[in-house]
Amino acid sequence: MDAIILQVLNGLDKGSAYTLIALGLTLIFGTLGVVNFAHGALFMLGAFCAVTLNRLLTLSMEVVDETRTDFLGNPLVVNVPYVEEWFGTQFGGAIIDWSVPLALLLAIPVMALVGLAMERGLIKHFYKRPHAEQILVTFGLAIVLQQIVKYFYGANPIATPAPDAFQGSFDFGVLIGFEPFTIIYPYWRLVYFCFAAVVITGVFAFLRYTTFGMVVRAGMVDRETVGLLGINIGRRFTFMFALAAIVAGVAGVMYTPIVAPNYNMGMNFLVLSFVVVVVGGMGSLPGAVAAGFLLGILESFASMSAVIDLIPGINQVIIYLVAIIVLLVRPRGLLGKKGVMED
């Protein structure tokens, strides 16, 4: 029982990441009709905002320690971060310690700018082109963004830890009365799940309860009619692209303590997130959320050794199997609109 609860938690956590990326993909497809294969790269860029801030905050002055030597036998150069020098070890150290959450403040404007630049500079030229061309050009863009990041940061993963307060794990089993069973779960993964819940709720509330959101939803249903009312729907859709980029970016920032960022991390998530979008239903936001969590949990269960022993390799194909079954039975996806992907 405890193993099942643990994998449900794991699935919710994986599902959070899938959903946050799929949400952005769905927003872009639902508003602009663009299949954005560069969306995983936006997630990766968000993660590297956290890496960058961490590096900026740990920029150091070099102090020579004559008592020790480096690998060449020269006196050892010890690095003391400027932040600690300026604000004291305690406060300066705390700023460095909280660099991942602080990176949200950097990532939001950066991702908004990247999103706007992408949409205005490239994507808008492909609105009326076939999906195949959109996929090609956005996939190419993703590779360019990856190579830029690789050039500056290298290919190895870069450890970016969570604040000390959220390091380690706690016994979830004791909390829900499962003593003496052990259900150990990392603090930061719970933070990530809560963060995802807040972001998803925020996006839904924005679309549901604001006038801006109402116009966007109307535009998703009938762009021309909304345009005829004198509303510049194109500008609003551009804003939605930037919003999708921000959602992917902040998802990437908060993910850095879970898996050390590397330039290729977006690709792993992109493919899975596309499956999530297709299973949920192209253009359906509730579908993306439902499918994200469903597939996350299924993947976690399929990775249990008892399941793998029973059906070897199931962990690597489960998501695609589910996608095939859903598309065979219901081509529009779980909560997709009638007509989408059915012609």
Partner 1 sequence: MGKPFTSRRGLLKGSAAAGVALAAPTIFTRRASAADFTNEPTGSTVTFGFNVPQSGVYADEGADQLRAYELAVEHLNGTGADNGMLETFSSKALTSQGVLGKKVEFVTGDTQTKSDAARASARSMIEKDGALMITGGSSSGVAVAVQALCQEAGVVFMAGLTHANDTTGKDRRRNGFRHFFNSYMSGAALAPVLANAYGNDRRAYYLTADYNWGYTTEQAISEATEGVGWETVNKVLTPLGAGDFSSYIAPVLQSGADTLVLVHYGGDMVNSLTNAVQFGLRDAQVDGRDFQIVVPLYSRLMARGAGENVKGIFGSTNWHWSLTDEGSQAFSRSFGTKYGFPPSQAAHTAYCQTILYADAVERAGTFNPCGVVEALEDFEFDGLGNGRTLYRGDDHQCFKDVLVVRGKENPDSEFDLLEIVEVTPVDQVTYPHDHPQFAGGDLGACNPGS
Given the rule CB under 8 A, which residues bind partner 1?
2-3, 6-7, 10-11, 13-14, 17, 68, 70-72, 76-78, 150, 154-159, 161, 168-169, 182, 184-186, 188-189, 257-260, 262, 264-265, 268-269, 299-300, 302-306, 308, 315-316
Residue number, 33 or 157, with CB nearest to partner 1 = 157
Q: Give the residue with the Cβ less far from partner 1, 215 or 304.
A: 304
Q: In terms of CB distance, is 19 or 238 closer to partner 1? A: 19
Which residue from 203, 229, 194 is spatially nearest to 215, judged by alpha carbons?
229
The smaller minimum CB distance to partner 1, of residues 169 and 218, is found at 169
Please report where in the chains the tokens 């602009």 appear, as a residue. Answer: 32
Nearer to partner 1, 151 or 338 (CB): 151
3-class secondary-structure state, position 139: helix
State in angstroms the smallest separation of the CB of 147 from partner 1.
8
Owner of token pair 């004559």: 66
* CB atoms near residue 239 (< 10 Å): 17
Q: Which is nearer to partner 1, 243 or 323 (CB)?
A: 323
Minimum CB–partner distance for residue 285 and partner 1 (Å): 24
Residue closer to partner 1 (CB basis): 62 or 224: 62
Which of 216, 337, 342, 218 shows the shortest CA–CA distance to 288?
337
Q: How near is the Cβ of 98 to partner 1 at its closest, in Å?
A: 17
From the number of C-beta atoms within 10 Å of its C-beta (0-12, 13-18, 19+), residue 206 rates as middle
Query: Please, what is the minimum distance in Å from the beta carbon of residue 157 to partner 1?
Result: 4
Q: How far apart are CA 263 and CA 153, in angstroms?
A: 8
- Amino acid identity for residue 79 in this structure: N
Q: Transcribe 187-219 into DSSP letters.
A: HHHHHHHHHHHHHHHHHHHHHHHSHHHHHHHHH
Nearer residue to partner 1 within complex by CB, 203 or 253: 253
DSSP bridge pairs for 76 = 65
For residue 296, give the nearest of 20, 4, 11, 17 by alpha carbon: 11
Q: State in angstroms the smallest separation of the CB of 271 from partner 1.
A: 11
Q: Do residues 248 and 43 make contact, with C-beta atoms less than 8 angstroms apart?
A: yes
* C-alpha span between 94 and 84 (Å, rounded): 9
Q: How many Cβ atoms are within 10 Å of 226's Cβ, its own excluded?
A: 19
What is the β-pairing status of strands 75-81 and 169-171? unpaired
Handedness of CA 244, 273, 52, 258 (dihedral sign): positive
Nearer to partner 1, 122 or 268 (CB): 268
Euclidean distance between CA atoms 130 and 74, whole angstroms: 61
User: Which residues are bridge partners to 62 per DSSP?
Assistant: 79
Smallest gap from Cβ 230 to partner 1, in A, equals: 47
Shortest distance in whole angstroms from residue 146 CB to partner 1: 9
- Minimum Å distance from CB 286 to partner 1? 25
Least distance between partner 1 and beta carbon 31 (Å)? 29
